[in-house]
Structure 1
Amino acid sequence: MPDPDSVNASLTGPLYRTAGTLIPSLMLTRKAGGQLSTDSLAGADSAGETIGQLVGHITNIHMKYWTGDAANAFSGYCGALTDAAGMQHQLATDLAEVMDAHLEIRRRQLTDIWIIGETTIKVLDSLDHWCTNRKKSTQTVLTVVGAIAAVVVVAPETLPVGSAVDAEAIQSLGAILGTAPDKKDETLSISGATVQAVIQSMTDTLHKLYEYVDQQEQLLAQALGALRNAIDTYRQMLLVPPPSEFTALAEADIGTTRRVFYDR
């Protein structure tokens, strides 16, 4: 399979940066080893103003004295953008997390397979050639069981005004999966008194590993299904079309504009 680290930045980076561009005030971080990381996953793109702040500048300052049907339609359009930004931010973050989690599953799967192989070799080397009744055993740890929990982004305490309620329409990955299953590493034994028994034990462990991989991937499939349903339900709120009252004036002459759009 492809090296997960070689594709990580090209897959998840743009999505995290998109989320950070939509709501820059939110620091997209995650916990590593139980400690909260201070590095933003969105990078430098998270250092600007939120969509809500920009809309405030437009409607409260630049459009302060604008009146007319087109002005009213455009003001409503700007307000809808604030709501959509919160939902798009959550959607981009969720998609990035799903891809990140899938790469982490693959990364840990490769690591676990390698460890199982190394452990098996050690057990085989430790067998007593003259005694076939003395069972040898070595513990091996499967880390893939915690792959999803390891990449879930830390949810901020608050969202900007105007986006908190709407962002709840598309839940975070942790909420979709029941606050993201935080399973501990699974410890198994590779053991046996003969070569055949040790190889069988290794095979059983590999089967167990793939069971855990399948369980993790089913959780991601469940999350993607929930996101797809949310998109179908809230499509009109996610994608805000420009008002026809405004777009109809895109090529209007000055006389037409003056009849519907006033600056007093």
Structure 2
Amino acid sequence: MTMAFTYHSPAELQQLGERIRDKAVQVTMDQAASYAEAQQAANNDATRSDTGQMTQVPTYSTPVSGRPDDEDNLRSYVGQAYAEIPALFAAFGLPDPDASRPMLDALYSVAATVAVDLQLTSRDNKITAPDATAPISGTAPLAEVADLIDGHLKNWSGDAALAFEVYLKNNIRAAALHREIALSLALGLEAQLEINRRTNTDIWEIGQKTYKALEGLDAWCPGANASKSTAMLTIAGAIAAVIFAGATAGAGGAAFAAAVGVEGLQSLATTLSNVGPLQNKKVDIGGMTVPPIITGMQNAMTTLTKSIDAQQQELAAGLSSFTQSVHANWNKILIPGPRELNDVRNAGGAALKASGDFRVR
């Protein structure tokens, strides 16, 4: 089952980063050990600035008055050191994944339109079968249209009529492929949205745990243990959650079936079903002073970024493989019209009556 999700907007992430920046500055100025480390860093950067070397804090230059480690100058230095924290969080901002629900509903409706029966049996008891969803308004499922045409075919004879009957049956088989394509496209979108959900959740988790670790330093005293928080990153299980537990689709609870490919077409669910079990990753954010906590936060962000990239590559590879499968089955997906009908396409009534290819009883 996909995880419970609370969306955090780009503005909220920016604000979270600002809170962490402000807390980092406040704790640095209040906690003795962090204050002493900051004084040393400011003096070192002042020396680098005076000798034309690259400073650890970008754009820093020796203050025009007072010592680099004076309180006011030091506060300015620390503020510069942590100025980029809000931007680090804002960089993970994404639109609300749940806003894409209409696109998913449209894909489900397409699948239901070409083939109403979406009650597939789960092959391995891991994949939830999709529920039937409403067809597109004003349309009729292909099977119903085919039955209607088939009734009229009873009065047709000749080679062209027989060819059209075969053509109709081929289109009914192709409908299963069309449905599989629609469901696979929906799955690809579901997987991407789940990656986005977990990205949004994990970056918020990193921020909250960073702030908690900084708060812990407020109560720090000599001899105390380091302030430590552990963030739980869920991104590595994003695709697996969709594939193995099923992806809900609105109130109908529609989900995907990783069925064996229809007519040789391997579904995207089948292609992605090798992503492995669900995975969570713990990352520690802590230290006895502010700098190692901020470093832990940045390391957690790096871990998150790598996990996002791995999931994106997994999805891209699956979509590429699915696309190749679609191309390999193209002649089954898009059925050409029967040659016998093409031969009489422009024939008049007299020509049709005289033709042995197409007769109406």
Distance apart, 1:29 and its partner CA: 11
Q: Secondary structure at the match of 1:72?
A: helix
Tell me, in whole angstroms, the C-alpha distance in 1 between the residues paired with 2:202 and 2:232: 7
Q: Which residue of 1 aligns with 2:359?
A: 262
Q: Which residue of 2 aligns with 1:115?
A: 205
Which of 224, 242, 247 is the aligned partner of 2:337?
242
Q: Which residue of 1 aligns with 2:28?
A: none
Distance apart, 1:156 and its partner CA: 7.8
2:149 corresponds to 1:66: no
- Contact (CA 8 Å) 1:20, 1:28: kept in 2 or not? no
Higher relative contact order (CA 8 A, sep 6+): 1
Distance apart, 1:144 and its partner CA: 1.6
- Contact (CA 8 Å) 2:114, 2:178: kept in 1 or not? yes
2:304 corresponds to 1:209: yes
Which of 166, 169, 184 is the aligned partner of 2:264?
169
Distance apart, 1:118 and its partner CA: 1.0
Q: Which residue of 2 aligns with 1:14?
A: 106
Q: Secondary structure at the match of 1:190?
A: strand
Tell me, in whole angstroms, the C-alpha distance in 2 between the residues paired with 1:229 and 1:261: 38
2:240 corresponds to 1:149: yes
- Give the partner amino acid of 1:17: S
Q: Secondary structure at the match of 1:94?
A: helix
Question: For residues 40-189 of structure 1, what are the structure 2 equivalents within 5 Å?
Answer: 40=131, 43-45=133-135, 51-52=142-143, 54-59=145-150, 61-127=151-217, 128-131=219-222, 134-152=225-243, 153-155=255-257, 167-189=262-284
- Contact (CA 8 Å) 2:344, 2:352: kept in 1 or not? yes
Distance apart, 1:58 and its partner CA: 2.9
- 1:17-36, CA deviations, whole angstroms, 9 ceiling, x for partnerless residues? 21221211114899xxx996
Point out where structure 1 has 5 or more consecutive residues left out of the alignment.
Answer: 158-163
- Contact (CA 8 Å) 1:119, 1:138: kept in 2 or not? yes
- Contact (CA 8 Å) 1:124, 1:195: kept in 2 or not? yes
Tell me, in whole angstroms, the C-alpha distance in 2 between the residues paired with 1:106 and 1:184: 16
Tell me, in whole angstroms, the C-alpha distance in 2 between the residues paired with 1:112 and 1:29: 34
Whose radius of gyration is greater, 1 or 2?
2
Point out where structure 2 has 5 or more consecutive residues left out of the alignment.
Answer: 1-92, 244-254
Tell me, in whole angstroms, the C-alpha distance in 2 between the residues paired with 1:151 and 1:37: 12
- 1:164-216, CA deviations, whole angstroms, 9 ceiling, x for partnerless residues? 8x715222223212355331332332222211111111111111111111111
- Contact (CA 8 Å) 1:144, 1:213: kept in 2 or not? yes
Moved more, 193-202 or 253-262: 253-262
Distance apart, 1:78 and its partner CA: 0.5
Tell me, in whole angstroms, the C-alpha distance in 2 between the residues paired with 1:190 and 1:29: 45
Q: Which has the higher strand share?
A: 1
Q: Which residue of 2 aligns with 1:160?
A: none
Q: Which residue of 2 aligns with 1:161?
A: none
Tell me, in whole angstroms, the C-alpha distance in 2 between the residues paired with 1:210 and 1:28: 37
Residues paired across the two proteins, number: 251
- Give the partner amino acid of 1:58: I
- Give the partner amino acid of 1:261: F
TM-score by length of 2: 0.61
